[in-house]
Amino acid sequence: MQTPEQLLRIMAEQVPFNRLLGMHGESVAAGSCVLVLPVRPDFVGDFRRPALHGGVLSSLIDTAGGVAAWSALGPGESVSTVDLRVDFLEPAGLGGPLRADAQLVRKGNRVCHVRIAVTQDGLLVAEGRGVYNIHKRS
């Protein structure tokens, strides 16, 4: 079983995509996780506003949800994303960092359900719901 510090280190250092984006953990506990993503100009998807690309927010939501689910697992278990829903509520821009707060809703025998809220400068910019398949090592 991974400690919270190990989970955050794995997420930030061992997953190349997370390193590319610059995600880092603020906190993790059993069934919850807070990740932070510093904003960069190359995250802009709509240059006219400028607003961040939805894929950046979706990636942050998926990663935070996965870490929250993973933090509730037993020894030898891991997770993978089965379903992800993202609702974009306000455009995220070139302001402060994005902060994803993920909370486990339910851990069953086969899947975990997680809710994720993303804020920027105190404003709720997106919400997500993720379903993560539980893999048990044989």
Q: What is the CATH number of the domain that holds 124?
A: 3.10.129.10
Please give the pLDDT value at position 1: 64
This prediction's pTM: 0.95
Q: Tens digit of pLDDT for each residue in 32-56?
A: 999 999 999 999 999 999 999 999 9
What is the Cα–Cα distance from 2 to 22, expressed in whole angstroms?
Answer: 22
Q: Tens digit of pLDDT for each residue in 42-96?
A: 999 999 999 999 999 999 999 999 999 999 998 889 999 999 999 999 999 999 9
Show the domain range for 96: 4-136
| Region of 76 on the Ramachandran plot (φ > 0 left; ψ -120 to 50 alpha; else beta) | left
For 3, 77, 126, the CA distances from 52, given in Å and listed in that order, are 33, 34, 12
How many separate domains does the chain show? Answer: 1
